[in-house]
Amino acid sequence: MILNTGGRTDTVQYYTEWLLNRFREGYVLSRNPLFPNSVNRIELSPDLIDVVVFCSKNYAPILERLHEINDRFRCYYHYTITAYGTDIEPNVPSIDDSLLTLKLLSALVGKKKIAWRYDPVLLTPKYTIETHFHTFERITSQIAPYIDRCIFSFVEMYKKLETNMPELRPVTELDQIILAQGLGNIARKYNMTIQTCAEISDLTQYGIQKSGCMTAEIFSNALDIQFKKVPHKGNRKGCACMDSRGLGDYNSCPNGCKYCYANKDHDKARQNYLTHDPNSPLLLGHLLPTDVVKPSRQISMLKNSERSLF
């Protein structure tokens, strides 16, 4: 089983104590997003979890205690650093602070276990193609020796963005080609592997690999493990990632990023954050009398492993 700790919210930045408590106690409860009174119990055991995947925009809060998880589990880290400022990512650290933290993370866990996420790539009158090239090279020149790869994708123009970002303009097919050529050239200049995730377009002619961000190949190379050959459904069209299980809740991330898919309402997210108790097995609030807790189906996908929990 692949456990994704950051698909629904930035647990590393805002819920560090809770996350460490859950791994220390050995289980976590997670509400079903579609059926709130249905609660899944996930056992946080190295025998049942093949890889713990982190995804955050700020690892600074957990660095000193990261060993509590990293020493016991196979872990892979996604670190998101974009070109945007507080006008789009209100509560995200500056690029300079993020670069420093990434280098510290790399020193702790090794470059093979870190992917830099430069996504979503979006365009506005302020964040132009040239702005992306300038910022991408600025970041790449500093962190290429500290990461395994760079992963990027173009913004999806879903309906909520029309309200949250009226300044946003569609990334046309021509824009994608120009961006791919430029980003690919910069990555090549600094000997950095670059790939897309969940992109239908084939950009390999520009030196950009087409893959997923959580694949058996990436984990195998980074963690020296081998997986069974099992089909992967992916999370959306064009996704080549392995199946994973998420924890936490949507509408709970205080980062306030305008393009966020996990927060439908930033005011609601701030209100939900106030219900957080780091000692609760749930990310938000506590169990209710009407809740039904069921054990999650956990099956290892590692070769020569029959570990499972039903």
**172-182: per-residue pLDDT in tens?**
999 999 999 99
Is 19 within 8 Å of 12 (Cβ atoms)?
A: yes
**pLDDT reading at 239 higher than 80:** no
Q: 31: burial class by Cβ within 10 Å (0-12, 13-18, 19+)? A: buried
How far apart (Å, rounded) are the C-alpha atoms in residues 99 and 104? 9
Residue written as tokens 């299980």?
A: 245
Query: What is the mean pLDDT of the segment spanning 238-247?
Result: 79
Range in 92-101, 230-239, 267-276 with the lowest mean pLDDT: 230-239
Residue 210's pLDDT band, with cuts at 50, 70 and 90, is confident
Q: Is the pTM of this model over 0.85?
A: yes
Mapping DSSP onto H, E and C, the string for the chain reads: CEEECCCCCCHHHHCHHHHHHHHHHCEEEEECCCCCCEEEEEECCCCCCCEEEEEECCCHHHHHHCHHHHCCCCEEEEEECCCCCCCCCCCCCCHHHHHHHHHHHHHHHCHHHEEEECCCECECCCCCHHHHHHHHHHHHHHHHHHCCEEEECECCCCCHHHHHCCCCECCCHHHHHHHHHHHHHHHHHCCCCEEEECCCCCCHHHCCEEECCCCHHHHHHHHCCCECCCCCCCCCCCCCCCCEEECCCCCCCCCCCCCCCCCCCHHHHHHHHCCCCCCCCCCCCCCCCCCEEEECCEECCECCCCCEEC
pLDDT at 270: 93
In the block, tokens 């629904």 appear at: 8
Q: How much is the average pLDDT of 119-148?
A: 98
> Residue 224 is encoded by which pair of tokens?
């020296």
Burial (CB < 10 A; 0-12, 13-18, 19+), residue 35, is exposed
- Check: CB of residue 293 under 8 Å from CB of residue 281: no
pLDDT band, very low/low/confident/very high, at 164 (cuts 50, 70, 90): confident
Is 232 buried (19+), middle (13-18) or exposed (0-12) by CB count in 10 A?
middle
Determine the pLDDT at residue 309.
Answer: 59
User: Mean pLDDT throughout 274-286?
Assistant: 97
182 with 132: CB under 8 angstroms?
A: yes
User: Binning pLDDT at 50, 70 and 90, where does residue 251 land?
Assistant: very high
Q: Which of 231-235, 238-242, 275-279, 286-290 has the lowest mean pLDDT?
A: 231-235
Amino acid (one-letter) located at 310? F
**Amino acid 146: pLDDT:** 98
Q: Are strands 194-197 and 209-211 parallel, antiparallel or unpaired?
A: parallel
The mean pLDDT value of the chain amounts to: 92
pLDDT band at 284 (very low <50, low <70, confident <90, very high): very high
Q: Calculate what percentage of the chain has a pLDDT beyond 70.
A: 95
Read off the pLDDT of residues 26-70 as tens digits, 9 standing for 90 and up: 999 999 988 989 999 999 999 999 999 999 999 999 999 999 999
If you count them, how many residues does the chain have?
310
* Token pair in block for residue 7: 């698909």
Band the pLDDT of 294: cuts 50, 70, 90: very high
Return the structure tokens found at 97.
């602070």
Q: Is the pLDDT of residue 20 over 80?
A: yes
